Structure 1
Amino acid sequence: MPGDVGPLAVDIDGTLTDQNRALDARTLDVLRAWPAPVVVATGKAMPYPVALCEFLGIDSAVIAENGGVVVIEQADFLSVHGNPDAAAAVLADYREAGHDSGWGTVDLINRWRETERAVSRDQPLEPLEAIAADHGLVVVDTGFAYHVKSPDVSKGQGLETIATQMTFALGDTVAIGDSRNDVSMFEAVGTSIAVGNAPESVRAAADYVTEATYADGFLEAIEWVGTTD
């Protein structure tokens, strides 16, 4: 891998995983060896990407909850943006209307969320969007869940915050992802790559689209970055 590559911002689900959301072990050495800052950007709650960084043995530079939470271990920085009360109210109204989050009583998907709520994609979307709009929120379909969030929160804004705090140039940064919530990152960086399983709207926003899908696509993206640097 070239030593002068820029920072890397990477999604988790659908990008570092297989189609069943299992982390592909081949991606771990790539992230450990990356010679510039690595930013893990996800729709998951903060403990998940922080744990990934911990087990990788790298400093946590994390965008969680689609930009609602930003963590930079190196800078002793934590930022939380969003409207958690409104998101909780949306889920309560959704349940009152006869629907459910789809995650069971324990609900590990939402248990540690600070700024948004997520609903399983096997639940009806239309009433969720209507209720969210009543509370001034939006619903983002990441391909893995419906996320009820503030409209002014995004992964792209989170990445801008991290770049400012860590003083690196977004124009030198590579972003790799597969979901609609990654498009804002693509718009912020110098090089954007969609893995092959990404929907057409995400593929259209990327500078390069891999032929391979999921983690195979991530590995192809890394190879492509190496050949174009």
Structure 2
Amino acid sequence: MKNVKWFAVDIDGTITLNGNGMVNLNALSKLRYLARLGYQVVFVTGRSSIEALALAIFGGTTQITIGENGGVISTAPNSHKILADIDKCRKGYEILRCELTHVNEKSVFPRMSEVVVDRTFNLDEGNRVFKEKGQDLILVDSNYAYHINETKINKGFGLDSLMKALDIGYDEIVSIGDSTTDIPMFNRTKYSITFESSTKEVRNTATRVVKGENGDGLINAIDWIMEQKSYCEII
């Protein structure tokens, strides 16, 4: 792990308490410590990239964020690389409203590449409708909401776009997260860490599983990584 210079970190369930948006301050302090050491910390989230950027600014970490499940990369409040077409997602939303009941847009921060809806209908039914209607779209469950994304969009796609743009090597970045939406991100990095509280599918995909949840797991993950780096430097 001696080449690691970057950390790609999920937000909800990884640095927040019980997924309710309240940040574990000890975990945030740990990320700020990494930034002070010269490491780059990138938040990769299903939330808007603007929310993540605000967290980075006030938290004192790297001001590069990937939001909307990989659909937007932000480097400033008015600087965004949009990787998907929101109009396609809005069309998909209208199709769902016509075909299914209880489909409602969720009140969230404005989005640039996706549409976010309430978890009030069957996810599989929604994806069936997209397939039958020939839409290149997918519904993704973030445990907070359903996200209508272009099929190509996921956290791995967004992270890969950033890695190519900044020439970040496969072995230079660690991805840390707790949910199935983080799996594509895990698959784009040599090192990936999740927690014992994560689902079996997520645990089986990550290269390392540590104890802890609600931010404490992130602290344990960072401590473990730094131990490995110290060992590599000694030998």
Normalising by structure 2, we get a TM-score of 0.85
Secondary structure of 2:202's aligned partner: helix
Equivalence for 1:36: 39
Identity of aligned residues (%): 29
List aligned pairs for 1:218-229, cutoff 5 A: 218-229=218-229
Structure 1 residues 87 and 206, CA gap change in structure 2 (3 angstroms): same
Task: Return the offset for 1:158.
Answer: 1.6
Contiguous gaps of at least 5 residues in structure 2? 230-235
Equivalence for 1:160: 160
Q: Which moved more, 1:184-193 or 1:116-125?
A: 116-125
Q: Which moved more, 1:169-178 or 1:136-145?
A: 136-145
CA distance in 2, matches of 1:208, 1:122: 34
**Which one of 120, 127, 131 corresponds to residue 125 of structure 2?**
127
**Letter of the 1:27 counterpart:** A
**Which one of 54, 57, 60 corresponds to residue 60 of structure 2?**
57
Secondary structure of 1:70's aligned partner: strand
Equivalence for 1:10: 9
Q: Is the 8 A contact 1:14 1:197 kept in 2?
A: no
Q: Is the 8 A contact 1:90 1:131 kept in 2?
A: no
1:99 counterpart = 2:102: yes
CA distance in 2, matches of 1:225, 1:114: 34
CA distance in 1, matches of 2:103, 2:120: 10
Q: Which moved more, 1:178-187 or 1:83-92?
A: 83-92
Equivalence for 2:192: 192
Equivalence for 1:85: 87
Equivalence for 1:47: 50
**What do the CA deviations read for 1:90-130 (whole angstroms, capped 9, x no partner)?**
22233333222363xxx1x2x51111112233433233222
Task: Return the offset for 1:143.
Answer: 2.5
1:146 counterpart = 2:146: yes
CA distance in 2, matches of 1:20, 1:78: 26
CA distance in 2, matches of 1:79, 1:26: 31
Secondary structure of 1:222's aligned partner: helix
Structure 1 residues 204 and 4, CA gap change in structure 2 (3 angstroms): closer
Structure 1 residues 20 and 81, CA gap change in structure 2 (3 angstroms): closer
Q: Is the 8 A contact 2:44 2:66 kept in 1?
A: yes
Q: Is the 8 A contact 2:32 2:60 kept in 1?
A: yes
Q: Is the 8 A contact 1:102 1:123 kept in 2?
A: no
CA distance in 2, matches of 1:62, 1:215: 19
**What do the CA deviations read for 1:53-81 (whole angstroms, capped 9, x no partner)?**
111233421111111101235xx963212
CA distance in 2, matches of 1:211, 1:59: 26
Write out the 4+ residue segments of structure 1 that deviate beyond 3 Å after TM superposition. 2-5
1:67 counterpart = 2:70: yes
Q: Which moved more, 1:114-123 or 1:179-188?
A: 114-123
**What do the CA deviations read for 1:18-54 (whole angstroms, capped 9, x no partner)?**
1142211111211112131111100111211011111
CA distance in 1, matches of 2:219, 2:58: 20
How many residues are treated as equivalent by the alignment? 221
CA distance in 1, matches of 2:104, 2:197: 25
Normalising by structure 1, we get a TM-score of 0.87
Q: Is the 8 A contact 2:83 2:113 kept in 1?
A: yes
Secondary structure of 1:214's aligned partner: coil
Equivalence for 1:169: 169
Task: Return the offset for 1:183.
Answer: 1.0
Q: Is the 8 A contact 2:105 2:116 kept in 1?
A: no
Contiguous gaps of at least 5 residues in structure 1? none
